Structure 1
Amino acid sequence: MSEPLRIVIVEDEALIVMQLEILIEEAGHQVVGTAASAGDAIAVARRTRPDIVFIDLQLRGGSSGLDVAKALAEEPAMTLVFLTANARHFSDDFAGAAAVIAKPFSEAIIGDTMVFLEECIRTPPPLSALPLGLRCAPGYLERLGT
């Protein structure tokens, strides 16, 4: 197995954070930080330099995952993925994110997504099919050569 992907989780609901941490670690990857607000998320991501940042759309203190995505969109080598119950409301540019996962998500969706994203990051283009429950930005898939 290759080196684990480094993940930051931006989510203000503790139970969802714990669930994601378990699923990500079971998939063989490492959670290097968590945050519940936009300001904390940006600081944690810039400090830890993760491969993937999972971002909830609505965060603590009225802050938004969109603010996190805007701030981190130009950071090199960070793949941004939104987690939201409002997945259908995104425009095709996904606010700078590579993909969106609809809530509620299942263990299978996160597991399949981790395999797919690892292929996208480590050995593009991915060999796996796009997982059910993961919606990718068209521009992201084009950049990968799919």
Structure 2
Amino acid sequence: MTARILIIEDEALVAMELRFVLEDLGHEVVGTAADARTARNIVREAEVDLALVDIHLSDGATGVDLGRELGQDQGVTVLFMTANPGMVRNGVAGTIGVLSKPTDERAVQTAVDYALRRRQGQPVDYAPPGLQLFA
């Protein structure tokens, strides 16, 4: 199952590595955004199935509100990827969960697969290792 994925990450090397991993898995990366405004512009212009959202972006800790907005208002499936998972430990409405950074290729693959299966309404028995689900 291939998907259109938006990477919202302010560290260029992390975003580039994520892009390589996702493209190797056969997904289309519709763009990368280092701040909330750029992310909103990409979502307006491109169909996005899944957004991988860091919490701390180049315009501050705007990722939580952005994730909520994309998930609730834009119909985008949202996974947070952050080194600060405690910032979203109580969950964020409209989003699936959080993957702690640093992470590896396998954890990204299993978390993305899980999120896409949920998006399509397919049964999912368990959360993959490293993915903390929200209630």
Instruction: Please name the residue that 2:18 is paired with.
Output: 20
Task: Identify which of 97, 118, 121 aligns with 1:120.
Answer: 118
Matches within 5 A, 1:7-86: 7-62=5-60, 64-86=62-84
The count of residues paired between Structure 1 and Structure 2 equals: 135
CA distances 1:41-92 after superposition (whole Å, capped 9, x unpaired): 1111222121101111011133511231233232353111111111133243
Superposition deviation, residue 126 in structure 1: 2.0
Runs of 4+ in 1 over 4 A off after TM superposition: none
Return the TM-score normalized by structure 2.
0.88
| C-alpha deviation, 1:95, in angstroms | 4.8
Please give the alpha-carbon distance, in whole angstroms, between the structure 1 residues aligned to 2:36 and 2:57.
7
Structure 1: where are the runs of 5+ without partners? Answer: 139-146
Alignment correspondent of 1:133: 130
**C-alpha distance in 2 between matches for 1:87 and 1:62:** 16
Q: Tell me how far apart the structure 1 counterparts of residues 61 and 72 of structure 2 sit (CA, whole Å).
A: 20
Identity of aligned residues (%): 33
Note the C-alpha offset of 1:119.
1.6
Greater fraction of residues in helix:
1
Q: What is the DSSP-based 3-state SS (H/G/I as helix, E as strand, rest coil) of the residue aligned with 1:73?
A: helix
SS at 1:83's partner residue? strand
Aligned partners of 1:8 and 1:32 also within 8 Å: yes
What are the ranges of 5 or more consecutive residues in structure 2 without an aligned counterpart? Answer: none
